[in-house]
Amino acid sequence: MIKSELIQKIANENPHLFQRDVERIVNVIFDEIIDALSRGDRVELRGFGAFTVKHRAARQGRNPRTGQPVFVDEKFVPFFKSGKELRERLNKQSSATNGEFTENRPEDPFAPGDRSP
């Protein structure tokens, strides 16, 4: 699912809201998550998961093509840890089919959606 599909789904399920308002709400939520992470805060969405920022120290790397040493600057990377409810729903779906992928169940909001128009 991409951001525009999320906005469309929320707008369809809430006909009393205009799509531009739904888009604004989704953008505010994402912006707040980004702002919190850029401050170094942890963002937890109960049942879904938690976003944190991990620090990667500067290091000596290697160019895979030439083998030459390359200096890699320090950086901060986003990290996501899934929540218990999300893991349970995903494992419930896969354990019911012995690990094989099945068609989406419409009642499961975490199931991957069909991307066809």
- Evaluate whether residue 59 is within a structural domain: no
Burial class from Cβ neighbours inside 10 Å (0-12, 13-18, 19+) for residue 53 reads: middle
- Residue 92: pLDDT band (50, 70, 90) is confident
Average pLDDT, the chain: 87
Q: Which domain holds residue 18?
A: 1-40
34 occurs within a structural domain: yes
Question: What pLDDT does residue 110 have?
Answer: 58
In a domain? residue 21: yes
Give how many domains the chain has, as a whole number: 1
The full DSSP string for 86-117 is: HHHHHHHHHHTTTT---PPPTT-TTSPPP---
pLDDT classification of 64: cutoffs 50, 70, 90: very high
Residue 79 belongs to a domain: no
Does the pTM surpass 0.85? The reply is: no
Q: Are the C-beta atoms of residues 26 and 7 closer than 8 Å to each other?
A: yes
For 64-77, what is the mean pLDDT? 95
Residue 73 DSSP one-character state = -
In a domain, 32, yes or no: yes
Cβ of 22: how many Cβ atoms within 10 Å? 19
Is residue 51 domain-resident?
Answer: no
Going by pLDDT thresholds of 50, 70 and 90, the confidence category of residue 95 is: low
Residue 116 has pLDDT above 90, yes or no: no
The answer as to whether 94 is a domain residue is no
Does some domain include residue 85? no
